[in-house]
Copies of this chain bind each other. A is one copy, B any other.
Amino acid sequence: MEYQEPQFFAVMQYASRAAGDVIDMVSGNPDWEPPAALREGLREYADASPDEFQYPPSEGLRELREEIAARRNVDVSQVVVTNGAGEANYLGMASALDRDTGSGVVLVDPVYPYYPGKADMLGGEPELVPSRRDGSLDVEAMVGAIDDDTACVVLNTPNNPTGAVYDIDAVRRVIETAEEHDAVVVVDEVYDHFDFGGDFESALAIDSPHRIVTSAFSKSMAITGLRVGYAILPEALVGGAKTRHMLVNVATSRPAQAAVVHALQETEPEYYERTRRLLSERIDAFTDALDAAGAAYTTPEGSFYVLARFDGFPGTMENVQRLIDEAGVAGMPGETFGSAREDWIRFALVTPRATEGANRLAEYFE
C-alpha cells in the first residue's frame, strides 16, 4: 500500500497554526452564502418524521436523482448520488478499472492530486500527459498516450488548477480514442457553474458507453462540507458502481441530500449568476495586483483558481510555507499538482481578502 495522500489538509493545517494573520487561499472552499433554500431544507429536515432519519435508497433519494436527471437530461437510472464529487470520481475510476481491460490511467498534468491517489489505491498505473502551455488539452499527446493497456482517462473541465475550459471537440476526440482502445473516460465537471466565458459544454453531449460524467453541488451551492455529488454512468457500468457504492458507504447522508433537493427546486438562476460575477471581479482585481507584483499568472476561463509564478521562487512545499510565515498568504504548491507546473503556486479565490492577498504578495516580492 503506497497511495499518495493529497496535501490540501496538511497545508490548511500549517496555515492555521501560523503565528501571524494568514489569508487562506489553499482549498476550494467557497466563502459565500449557500442558497437560502438550502438552509430551509435543513430546517425542514430537522422536523421530519423518524422514518426520514433512516437509510435513504443506496443510490440516493429518488427526488434528488430525478432533479439531477432532469437538469442533466439523462435517464434517472444512470444517476448515482455520491458522497461529493470525491466519491463520484472514485466510483467512476473504479468502474473503469473493474472492467479488467488494462491498468493504465491517463491523467492531465497539472493534475488534481486526488486522481493519481485514487488510481494508485485502485491498482491502476497513473500516467501524466502535460496540457498545453495555456492549460488546454494537448489532444495529440492524449491520443498518443491512450493504448490497449489504458483502462481509464480522467478529464477535469473547467479545470483545477489551470482554469482552462476544454474544447468539446477535444473531449470528443479523447472519448473516441478511448472507445477504440476499450477504455473509459471520466469527466469531472464539478466547476461547471463557474464558466466565465460561457464556452463550457458538458461531455454529456457526447453519447458514448465509454463516458462517465461526475459532478457535485459542493462548489455551485457553496457546500463542500455537505458531501452531495453524483456520477452519471452508461448503462453497462451503473450496476457495478451502485454495488461498490453500497459496499463502501451503504448510502450517503440524508439531511444533506434532502437539503439539496429543496435548494435545487427553489433556487433562482440569479444565485449562480451572482457568484459568477463575484468571482469575475475577484479574478480581475487579483490578477491586476499580480501584474503589479511582476508575476506571471493564468487567467481562469472557468473554476476559481489562479496559478502564479514568481521569479526564483518555485512552487515547492517549502516556499509555500515561507509565504505563509513571511507574507501571510497561503496557496497550494504547484509541485503537488504533478510536474508540469512545479514553478507555480495555486491560489483559490474563495476569500473576500483575495485582493489583499495579492497586495501582500506584491509587497513581499517587490
Contact = CB atoms under 8 A, between A and B. Distances in A.
A118 interface: yes
Contact of A226 (B118, B121, B240, B255): B255
A240 B46 CA distance: 35
A227 B250 contact: yes
Contacts of A244: 3, 121
Given A55-B225, A240-B1, A253 B252 contact: yes
Contact of A114 (B1, B6, B53, B247): B247
Nearest to A91: B248
Count identical subunits in the complex.
2
A53 B246 contact: no
A344 to B, nearest CB: 23
A9 interface: yes
B46 A39 contact: yes
Interface of A: 1, 3, 5-6, 9, 27, 29-34, 39-40, 42-43, 45-47, 50-58, 83-84, 86-87, 90, 98-100, 114, 117-118, 121, 222-228, 240, 242-244, 246-256, 259
A-B CB proximity, top 3 nearest: A253-B253, A225-B254, A86-B250
Given A3-B244, A53-B224, A118-B248, 16 more contacts: A1-B98, A1-B100, A3-B247, A39-B46, A40-B46, A42-B42, A42-B255, A53-B226, A54-B222, A55-B224, A86-B249, A90-B247, A114-B247, A225-B251, A225-B255, A226-B254
